[in-house]
């Protein structure tokens, strides 16, 4: 796993893994890590969403979508520990900005009266928390399987409350793998995946979050 | 070493514009009626026998991977030294043969520095250069500010280069034709001569630092504005460039692209478009807040400020950058697939890539994933933007499964200390 060979010392990243999981001890253990559990639905908080403009032109909707994106960034920067995720639907002129707990006082001001933007409270974990967790998991795998040639593609979804790790073959061009994809050993990839599942079970992710670990011996991330 | 500094001032009939310009001085001829080249302040400021023109000292392009890696490591160290010792740092560079490098200081070499950079071999530390980098930049600024464009109704550009080895400031004054946003033609020969007089007066009243000379180079013909390259063009025949950028702390211009794409080579219709990689211009990594698969290539030449988006997308100036969110409508351009649009499916994805001139596999992210795979090899490095707007969103990276992936352009801008350049 080329990228993870960059890690300097196993102990450092095992500690980092532990740190990333701080506060997650009460996470619900998931019995079947290969399956996605349904996301708990967040309870929307009424934020007196201004009426959207269904008769807007496409141009107006697209401009609105950029303004909302900018507002979401401002909210995330102002409340990095409260911000969970955001969704934008410019066809419906509807967007939601979700928070891990209560909607912070002042968040609505940052949205600045943009129509169709809903602020949602109590939406669980943040994308940052999920990214930190998946990153720590990757780091530990890199240390434990330092001599293996594999790579990981990861996705997180705070809305669906899932972390997905795909264990794949080596990165194209990696000089550590002169043989190429033919050298991929699906059994070894499966061992790595199984270890990832064990790690996720031993140190659970944030509450309500499911870790999905799969093996893809055929495809790799392809730089274009 | 040649520390090219791009500066320019352009004056049109009623508006004043800033036009960084580079690489023009060697190709242009003096317009009729204008004397062009002359040394300024020969008695006090012009060295009697300048070394050979630095254009002849460019290293060959076919460097080995080890040499390129070493040069990038040296660049990182030199930048760190420059930032850590701003009152001492003078200049730095690679030797012509790429087997040595140097860092010079105005006075003594700071204590402990030799040990601190011991991990990078073959670096000579030079004391008592007699001037700091800021001294040079301040003086160049003075030259540019000395230009008083009253009465000049055509477009022109003033370029100031400094060469600490030759101890000379090279000033090029040229007219600019075909300027994008104006019907005005190039400044006349008489007007250019007036600008030159402004500079001569400045140099006479404010001698350059540390025995530097000032020369005014000939401009054989006006610079053609319409030849400036856009963002979005083919990079080295294997990748695509994204948006044009300008360094915040200096006048350098460049093109954003993917970190796994070449840092040098041809671009659009221009061969050898870029300088060797600028320090810290490659920062491909995984970091939730600042990471991605990106670099910026330091352009030798002026850029138009536009980004090419294919026949369907046209050319646009991107003055604004925002982070896309799930559901955002985004479009891209790549040299292989052309123009296309999709919707953001998820954020904060991570992957790994091999970077040839970094000679390593890097973990990269966060990446933005779209619902469909709409890109192919060759599209890497190309621009992603908010559909129907002039707001930049990302730099294309790659494909996995049924999704295309790109880096946040905001992370690249923040990491590199550059801003979108719109001319």
Query: What ipTM describes this predicted complex?
Result: 0.78
Number of cross-chain residue pairs from A and B with Cβ atoms under 8 Å apart: 156
Q: Which of A2-11, A62-71, B347-356, B410-419 has the least mean pLDDT? A: A2-11
Whether pLDDT at B163 is above 50: yes
B350 chain-A contacts, CB cut-off 8 A:
131, 134-135, 138, 152-154
Q: Is B371 on the interface with A (CB under 8 A)?
A: no
Contact A88 B363 (CB under 8 A): no
Question: Which pLDDT belongs to residue A30?
Answer: 35
Nearest residue of B to residue A128, measured between CA atoms: B288
Which span out of A101-115, A178-192, B220-234 was modeled with the highest average pLDDT? A101-115
Higher pLDDT, A22 or B378: B378
Question: Which pLDDT belongs to residue B187?
Answer: 79
A131 chain-B contacts, CB cut-off 8 A:
288, 348, 350, 365-366
Question: Which pLDDT belongs to residue B72?
Answer: 67
Q: Is B375 on the interface with A (CB under 8 A)?
A: yes
Contact by Cβ (8 Å): B124, B149: no
Contact A171 B386 (CB under 8 A): no
Whether pLDDT at B48 is above 50: no
Contact B396 A224 (CB under 8 A): yes
Task: Give the confidence band of A113 by pLDDT, cuts at 50, 70, 90.
Answer: confident
Q: Which of A10-19, B260-269, B326-335 has the least mean pLDDT? A: A10-19
Select the residue of B260, B362, B401 nearest A219 (Cβ to Cβ): B401
Q: Is B270 on the interface with A (CB under 8 A)?
A: no
**Model confidence over A164-198: pLDDT tens digits?**
999 998 877 776 666 665 567 889 899 999 999 99
Cα–Cα distance measured from residue B197 to residue B40, given in angstroms and rounded to the nearest whole number: 10
Question: Which pLDDT belongs to residue B96?
Answer: 65
* Distance in Å, alpha carbon of B346 to nearest chain A alpha carbon: 7
Higher pLDDT, A33 or B25: A33
Contact A223 B356 (CB under 8 A): no
Q: Which of A70-74, A135-139, B140-144 has the least mean pLDDT? A: B140-144
Select the residue of B320, B354, B366 nearest A172 (Cβ to Cβ): B354
The position carrying tokens 């559990």 is A37
Nearest residue of B to residue A132, measured between CA atoms: B288
Cross-strand bridge partners of residue B386: B330
Whether pLDDT at A11 is above 60: no
Contact A131 B375 (CB under 8 A): no
Question: Which pLDDT belongs to residue B9?
Answer: 30
B348 chain-A contacts, CB cut-off 8 A:
127, 130-131, 155-156
Contact B386 A69 (CB under 8 A): yes
Question: Which pLDDT belongs to residue A42?
Answer: 39
Task: Give the confidence band of B2 by pLDDT, cuts at 50, 70, 90.
Answer: very low
Nearest residue of B to residue A151, measured between CA atoms: B352
Closest to B413 measured CA to CA, from B316, B311, B321, B275: B321
Cα–Cα distance measured from residue B295 to residue B282, given in angstroms and rounded to the nearest whole number: 4
Cross-strand bridge partners of residue B396: B406
* Distance in Å, alpha carbon of A105 to nearest chain B alpha carbon: 22
Higher pLDDT, B189 or B326: B326
Whether pLDDT at B389 is above 80: yes
Higher pLDDT, A152 or A40: A152
User: What is the DSSP-derived secondary structure letter of residue A35?
Assistant: S
Select the residue of A3, A58, A224 nearest B378 (Cβ to Cβ): A224
Whether pLDDT at B17 is above 80: no
Task: Give the confidence band of B181 by pLDDT, cuts at 50, 70, 90.
Answer: very low
- Region A35-62: mean pLDDT is 57
Contact B329 A62 (CB under 8 A): yes
The position carrying tokens 């699906």 is A186
Contact A69 B286 (CB under 8 A): no
Q: Which of B51-60, B101-110, B158-167, B197-206 has the least mean pLDDT? A: B51-60
Whether pLDDT at A142 is above 80: yes
B347 chain-A contacts, CB cut-off 8 A:
85, 127, 156
Whether pLDDT at B27 is above 50: no
Question: Which pLDDT belongs to residue B79?
Answer: 72
Strands (DSSP E) found in A142-199: 151-157, 162-168
- Region A71-95: mean pLDDT is 92
Whether pLDDT at B378 is above 70: yes
Select the residue of A88, A128, A224 nearest B288 (Cβ to Cβ): A128
- Region B189-217: mean pLDDT is 87
Q: Is A214 on the interface with B (CB under 8 A)?
A: no
- Region A1-21: mean pLDDT is 34
* Distance in Å, alpha carbon of A25 to nearest chain B alpha carbon: 22
Cross-strand bridge partners of residue B405: B369, B398
Instruction: Name, in order, each residue with C-beta under 8 angstroms of B279's C-beta and a sequence gap of 6 or more.
Output: B75, B76, B78, B79
- Region A204-210: mean pLDDT is 94
Question: Which pLDDT belongs to residue A40?
Answer: 38
Select the residue of A66, A87, A135 nearest B286 (Cβ to Cβ): A135
In this prediction, what percent of chain A has a pLDDT beyond 70? 72
Cα–Cα distance measured from residue A106 to residue A117, given in angstroms and rounded to the nearest whole number: 14
Mean pLDDT (chain B, rounded): 78
Whether pLDDT at B54 is above 70: no
Q: Is A90 on the interface with B (CB under 8 A)?
A: yes
In this prediction, what percent of chain B has a pLDDT beyond 70? 77
Task: Give the confidence band of B141 by pLDDT, cuts at 50, 70, 90.
Answer: confident
Question: Which pLDDT belongs to residue B251?
Answer: 83
Q: Which of B5-14, B163-172, B197-206 has the least mean pLDDT? A: B5-14
Helix (H), strand (E), coil (C) string for chain B: CCECCCCCCEECCCCEECCCCCCCCCCCCCCCCCCCCEEECHHHHCCCCCCCCHHHHCCCCCCCHHHHHHHHHHHHHHHHHHHHCCCCEEEEEECCCCCCEEEEECCCCCCCHHHHCCCCCCEEEECCCCCCHHHHHHHHHHHHHCCCCCCCCCEEEEEEEEECCCCEEEEEEEEEECCCCCCCCECCHHHHHHHHHHHHHHHHHCCCHHHCEEEEECCCCCEEHHHCEEECCEECCCEECCCEEEECCCCCEEEEECCCCCCCCCECCECCCECCCCCCCECCEECCCCCECCEEEEECCCEEEEEECHHHHCEECCCEECCCCECCEEEEEECCCEEEEEEEEEEEEEEEEEECCCCEEEEEEEEEEECCCCCCCCCCCCEEEECCCCEEEEEEEEEECCEEEEEEHHHHHHHHCEEECCC
Question: Which pLDDT belongs to residue A4?
Answer: 33
Whether pLDDT at B63 is above 70: no
Question: Which pLDDT belongs to residue A24?
Answer: 32
Q: Which class for B393: exposed (0-12), middle (13-18), buried (19 or more C-beta within 10 A)? A: buried
Q: Is A181 on the interface with B (CB under 8 A)?
A: no
Contact B351 A154 (CB under 8 A): yes
Question: Which pLDDT belongs to residue B214?
Answer: 92
* Distance in Å, alpha carbon of B301 to nearest chain A alpha carbon: 26
- Region B159-180: mean pLDDT is 77
- Asked whether the whole model's pTM tops 0.90, one would answer no
Cα–Cα distance measured from residue B387 to residue A54, given in angstroms and rounded to the nearest whole number: 19
Question: Which pLDDT belongs to residue B142?
Answer: 87
Q: Which of A150-154, A180-184, B379-383, B387-391 has the least mean pLDDT? A: A180-184
Question: Which pLDDT belongs to residue B224?
Answer: 52
In this prediction, what percent of chain B has a pLDDT beyond 90? 39
Higher pLDDT, B393 or B101: B393
């Amino acid at each position: 796993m080329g990228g993870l060979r960059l890690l300097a010392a196993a102990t450092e990243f095992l500690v980092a893994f532990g740190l990333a999981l701080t506060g997650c001890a009460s996470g619900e253990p998931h019995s079947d890590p290969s399956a996605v559990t349904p996301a708990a639905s967040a309870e929307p908080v009424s934020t007196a969403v201004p009426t959207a403009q269904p008769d807007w032109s496409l141009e107006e909707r697209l401009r609105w979508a950029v303004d909302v994106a900018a507002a979401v960034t401002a909210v995330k920067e102002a409340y990095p520990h409260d911000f969970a995720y955001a969704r934008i639907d410019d066809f419906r002129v509807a967007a939601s900005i979700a928070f891990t707990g209560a909607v912070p006082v002042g968040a609505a001001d940052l949205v600045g009266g943009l129509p169709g933007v809903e602020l949602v409270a109590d939406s669980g974990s943040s994308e940052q928390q999920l990214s930190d967790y998946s990153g720590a998991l990757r780091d530990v795998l890199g240390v434990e399987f330092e001599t293996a040639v594999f790579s990981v593609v990861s996705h997180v979804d705070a809305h669906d409350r899932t972390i997905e790790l795909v264990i794949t073959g080596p990165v194209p061009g990696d000089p550590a793998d002169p043989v190429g994809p033919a050298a991929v050993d699906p059994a070894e990839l499966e061992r790595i995946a199984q270890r990832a599942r064990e790690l996720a079970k031993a140190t659970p992710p944030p509450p309500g979050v499911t870790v999905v670990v799969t093996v893809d011996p055929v495809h790799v991330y392809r730089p274009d | 070493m040649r520390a090219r500094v791009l500066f320019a001032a352009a004056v049109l009939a009623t508006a004043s514009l800033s036009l960084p310009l580079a690489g023009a001085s060697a190709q242009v001829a003096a317009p009729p009626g204008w004397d062009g080249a002359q040394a300024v302040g020969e008695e006090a400021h012009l060295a009697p026998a300048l070394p050979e023109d630095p254009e002849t000292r460019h290293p060959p392009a076919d460097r080995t991977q080890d040499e390129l890696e070493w040069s990038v490591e040296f660049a990182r160290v030199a930048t760190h030294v420059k930032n850590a010792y701003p009152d001492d740092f003078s200049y730095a560079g690679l030797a012509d043969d790429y087997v040595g490098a140097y860092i010079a200081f105005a006075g003594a070499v700071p204590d402990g520095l030799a040990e601190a950079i011991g991990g990078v071999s073959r670096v000579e530390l030079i004391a008592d250069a007699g001037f700091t980098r800021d001294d040079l930049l301040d003086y160049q600024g003075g030259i540019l500010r000395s230009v008083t464009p009253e009465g000049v109704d055509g477009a022109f550009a003033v370029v100031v280069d400094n060469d600490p080895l030759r101890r000379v400031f090279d000033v090029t004054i040229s007219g600019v034709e075909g300027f994008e946003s104006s019907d005005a033609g190039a400044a006349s020969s008489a007007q250019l001569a007036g600008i030159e007089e402004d500079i001569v007066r400045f140099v006479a009243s404010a001698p350059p630092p540390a025995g530097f000379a000032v020369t005014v180079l000939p401009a054989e013909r006006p610079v053609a504005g319409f030849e400036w390259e856009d963002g979005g063009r083919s990079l080295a025949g294997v990748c695509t460039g994204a948006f044009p950028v300008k360094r915040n702390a200096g006048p350098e211009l460049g093109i954003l692209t993917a970190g796994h794409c070449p840092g040098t080579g041809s671009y659009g219709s221009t061969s050898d478009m870029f300088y060797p990689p600028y320090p810290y211009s490659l920062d491909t990594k995984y970091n939730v807040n600042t990471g991605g698969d990106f670099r910026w290539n330091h352009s030798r030449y002026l850029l138009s400020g536009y980004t090419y988006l294919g026949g369907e997308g046209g050319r646009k100036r991107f003055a604004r950058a925002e982070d896309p969110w799930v559901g955002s409508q985004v479009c891209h351009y790549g040299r292989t697939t052309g123009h296309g649009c999709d919707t953001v499916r998820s954020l904060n994805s991570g992957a790994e890539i091999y970077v040839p001139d970094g000679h390593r596999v890097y973990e990269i992210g966060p990446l933005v994933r779209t619902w469909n795979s709409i890109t192919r090899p060759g599209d890497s490095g190309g621009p992603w933007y908010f559909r129907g707007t002039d707001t930049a969103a990302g730099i294309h990276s790659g494909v996995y499964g049924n999704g295309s992936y790109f880096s946040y352009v905001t992370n690249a801008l923040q990491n590199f200390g550059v801003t979108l350049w719109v001319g």
